[in-house]
Amino acid sequence: MSTQPNFEAMHHGWHRLLRSAAIAMAAGGAAAALMLAVSGGAISAEDKYKVQVRGGLAFSEFRGFEDWATVAVSQSGDLIEVILANPVMIKAYRAGAPGNGKPFPDGSKMAKIHWKAKPSAEAPSPTTVPDTLHDVDFMVRDSKRFSKTGNWGYAQFNYDTASDTFTPEGTGSDCGFACHTIVAKKDYVFTAYGKR
């Protein structure tokens, strides 16, 4: 029976130990990064779907809004905006809502993306284009959930370029209701579906 150390077994043992340590450090680093991202109520853009208005709507309720169809564009002061709607709402728009006297169906959702406006550096004539992201606003129609606010719930998520984070504005889901009462006869929706 040999009393010589088994160097090959020791070598493999050290590799297993180092590999386990590396995995543990990576997992710990990921957890620390996540804790840093969620501290202070702001969430990095890559985790935007974890943000929620306190007592109100969650960003995740509008997952996929980036690919919704365009309803129209608008400009307000130094902001330029695109208004998007989910397929449920686009179908209702194309059927004539709200001008046909029918409200939008429950499940209708809108997003308004605001960017700071700037003159284009490339276009040959004066052209205004989007610059940095400013905020993203949402509306969702649910006649049971939001019966006290015209059947719509509202949310605004402000974007900070320096930290690449979204922060919810205010509390609750009625932040846009007072403003939208101006167009109550249009089912509380300002934006008409532009001809195309």
The pLDDT tens digits for 95-127 are: 999 999 999 999 999 999 999 999 999 998 999
Asked if residue 34 has pLDDT above 90, the reply is no
Residues 142 and 177 in one domain: yes
Residues 15 and 78 in one domain: no
Residues 30 and 122 in one domain: no
Question: Is the bond into 126 cis (omega within 30 degrees of 0)?
Answer: no
Asked if residue 131 has pLDDT above 50, the reply is yes
pLDDT score recorded for residue 63: 96
Residues 12 and 34 in one domain: yes
pLDDT score recorded for residue 32: 38
Contact 132, 117 (CB under 8 A): no
> Total structural domains in the chain?
2
Residues 62 and 29 in one domain: no
Instruction: Please tell me the distance from the alpha carbon of residue 95 to that of residue 83, in angstroms, as a whole number.
Output: 18
Per DSSP, the three-state class of 179 is helix
Instruction: Pick the most confident of 30-44, 45-59, 151-165.
Output: 151-165
Q: In degrees rounded to 5, what are phi and psi of residue 6? A: -90, 95
DSSP per-residue letters across 31-89: HHHHHHHHGGG-EEGGGGGG-B-BTS-BGGGGTTGGGSEEEEEEEETTEEEEEEE-HHH
Whether residue 72 lies inside any domain: the answer is: yes
Residues 147 and 53 in one domain: yes
Residues 153 and 170 in one domain: yes
For tokens 């846009």, the residue is 176
pLDDT score recorded for residue 41: 56
Whether residue 194 lies inside any domain: the answer is: no
pLDDT score recorded for residue 194: 87
Whether residue 195 lies inside any domain: the answer is: no
Query: What average pLDDT does the chain have?
Result: 84
Question: Which is higher by pLDDT, 33 or 163?
Answer: 163
Angle CA(140)–CA(99)–CA(113) in degrees, nearest 5?
Answer: 40
pLDDT digits (tens, 9 = 90+) for 150-161: 999 999 999 999
Instruction: Please tell me the distance from the alpha carbon of residue 188 to that of residue 104, in angstroms, as a whole number.
Output: 10
Contact 181, 150 (CB under 8 A): yes
CATH number, domain containing residue 137: 3.50.70.20
Q: In terms of residue numbers, what domain contains 157?
A: 45-186
Whether residue 26 lies inside any domain: the answer is: yes
Whether residue 106 lies inside any domain: the answer is: yes
pLDDT score recorded for residue 47: 85
Note the pTM of the prediction, 2 decimals: 0.75
Asked if residue 20 has pLDDT above 60, the reply is no
pLDDT above 90 as % of the chain:
72
Whether residue 180 lies inside any domain: the answer is: yes
Residues 74 and 140 in one domain: yes
Whether residue 193 lies inside any domain: the answer is: no
pLDDT score recorded for residue 42: 65
Residues 35 and 109 in one domain: no
Residues 32 and 79 in one domain: no
Name the β-bridge partners of 73.
Answer: 82
Whether residue 1 lies inside any domain: the answer is: no
pLDDT score recorded for residue 13: 46
